[in-house]
Amino acid sequence: MSGLQRTESSKGYRLLVQSIGTADAAVIPSLRVLRGATDIELAALLYRAPSELISNVDEATGASLARVLREAGVQVELTPVGEAFEAGVGELEVAIAVKRFDNMLGIVEAAMRVLGVDLETGKRMICQSPGVLIGSISQATASALEQRFAPLGAELDVSKTAVAAFDIAAEGADEATGKILSDLLPGAASVRGSGSSGHFLAAGLGAEAAQSLWSELSRTAAKARILNRDFHRFDVKLEAAEASPEMIDLLRSTTGMSEASAARALGSLPFVLAENVRGAQMVDLLDRVHALGGRATGTLLALMRFGLALKAGGDRAGARPWVEAIGGADAAKDFAQPSCGELRGPMTKTAARWLQHELRKYGVFSHLVER
């Protein structure tokens, strides 16, 4: 539990890590000379800040060490050892939601630095749905990561996992998985969405129950995931609406469309009104559309998979490396065929939108297809 930490001795100073700041996992080995601990223990000190790095150091030495660490991006403070401080608690987990795709490599690179992972691992983590990034961190670290990813076009969802609610998603139409889940959760309701890659058992489990269920599932052949509701993201699709001035204003405020574009869009329903939004925003949009006499639906992105329908033309040879990097070797092989009109995936929404963005640079235009 968090609380005030105090050292009995009143002599000397302690060096406190206040936040990871702009530093990353690469700084951890350099902390070994300051404190005899394993890399795992040092990572915990860094990611669960505020924390005490060293104690009973003289002021001059402490100030010098603080200066070096600040230059590396770590936010530190030198305080008297008798002065109490509130230690951070590693009770949070964060997931990333990409909102813009013009700097995806920057987002992946930032994840690689924070986690100390390679390119393939970083890419996979960013593209998964939800994009769970790191757990067992403090609020100070979560805030620092939010500030780091926001300029790159990504948002972070933060969860206190001990009090979060969890749901179960079965992949595809796997009957064996459905039976296993039905046996383990006899009262659960199954909801299958059109075009969904799976069905959703809205169990609303607590953290302890979810962990217990996962332990049981891991011993079976069930193809299922346990999803943290704090990380749920949705697309909101406008299904039906009149082209009233109020509805046009709603489209303008939500999408940034011009008045003329909003009026044209209302003549070609359905279309996606908002992408990758949190649950509260999804509910608000559904209510606002309903209040204006329209109809909209929210789709949980964790259950969705997509392909890309390709238009003819463009520099496909130039674009192929991106298809392989994002979609995989099989997709790149299909893409190389002159007759290829579709990349079937299945891909997460993040991966599909990223690939769509990169293809557009080579004059290869496409639209998303639900799988």
Please give the Cα distance from 368 to 371 (Å, whole number). Answer: 9
Q: What is the pLDDT of residues 4-44, one digit of tens each?
A: 444 444 459 999 999 999 999 999 998 988 888 899 999 99
120 CB burial (10 A radius; 0-12, 13-18, 19+): exposed
Q: What is the pLDDT of residues 286-319, one digit of tens each?
A: 999 999 999 999 999 998 999 999 999 999 999 9
Q: Is 280 left (phi over 0), alpha (psi -120 to 50) or beta?
A: alpha
Q: What is the pLDDT of residues 124-181, one digit of tens each?
A: 999 999 999 999 999 999 999 999 999 999 999 999 999 999 988 877 666 677 677 7
pTM of the model: 0.88
| pLDDT recorded at residue 7 | 43
Query: Pick from 142, 34, 35: which is nearest to 88 by CA?
Result: 142
Please give the Cα distance from 227 to 253 (Å, whole number). Answer: 31
